[in-house]
Amino acid sequence: MLTTIAPRRGTDTWGSGAFGASRGNRLHMGVDFVAAPESTLLSPVKGEVTKLGYPYGDDLSYRYVEITDKDGSRHRFFYVEPLVDLRQKVRKGDKIGIVQDVTRRYPVPTGMKVHVHYEIINKEGLYEEPGRGY
């Protein structure tokens, strides 16, 4: 489902889904790809599941999956109910999660489009823009 050719979330009342977009005193360090709620997310990379986490400390209903590739880069996919287990090996194209509906947290009609936030943190700890080589 998710590929680097999926449509990107543009700008809405909550800001831009682009890499490096302003978030007040910080930057958006990933890319938001539009996705249908309840659709299946396929991994764009081969690696190992190294974390299953929660993007919000105040709402544990939203989840994320982190996959570490052979080069040590961590690929994180936010707003995804995991279909994988910790330390599971995944191949490119494997099912890794079900897209969650972020409009519960960011309500429509002025809300955010449903999307998957994809960020990459390389082995040096620097953020890289997804879609460049993946």
Residue 75 lies in a domain: yes
* CATH code of the domain in which 79 resides: 2.70.70.10
Whether residue 4 lies inside any domain: the answer is no
Residue 42 confidence (pLDDT):
95
The pLDDT, as a whole number, for residue 8 is 67
pTM for the model:
0.86
Q: Is residue 88 part of a domain?
A: yes
Q: Which of 29, 45, 59, 11 is nearest to 126 (CA)?
A: 29
Residue 134 lies in a domain: no
Q: pLDDT truncated to tens, each residue of the chain (134 aa)?
A: 444 456 766 666 666 666 767 777 877 788 889 888 999 999 999 999 999 999 999 999 999 999 999 999 999 999 999 999 999 999 999 999 999 998 888 776 666 778 899 999 999 999 998 875 44
**How many domains are contained in the chain?**
1
Let me know if residue 132 belongs to a domain: no
pLDDT reported for residue 6: 64
Domain that holds residue 67: 11-126
Distances (CA, A) of 28 to 18, 25, 35, 50, 129: 7, 10, 18, 22, 10
- Kindly write down the DSSP assignment for every residue of 74-131, as one continuous string: EEEEESEEE-S-TT-EE-TT-EEEEE--GGGTS-SSSSPPPEEEEEEE-TTS-EE-TT
Size (the chain), residues: 134
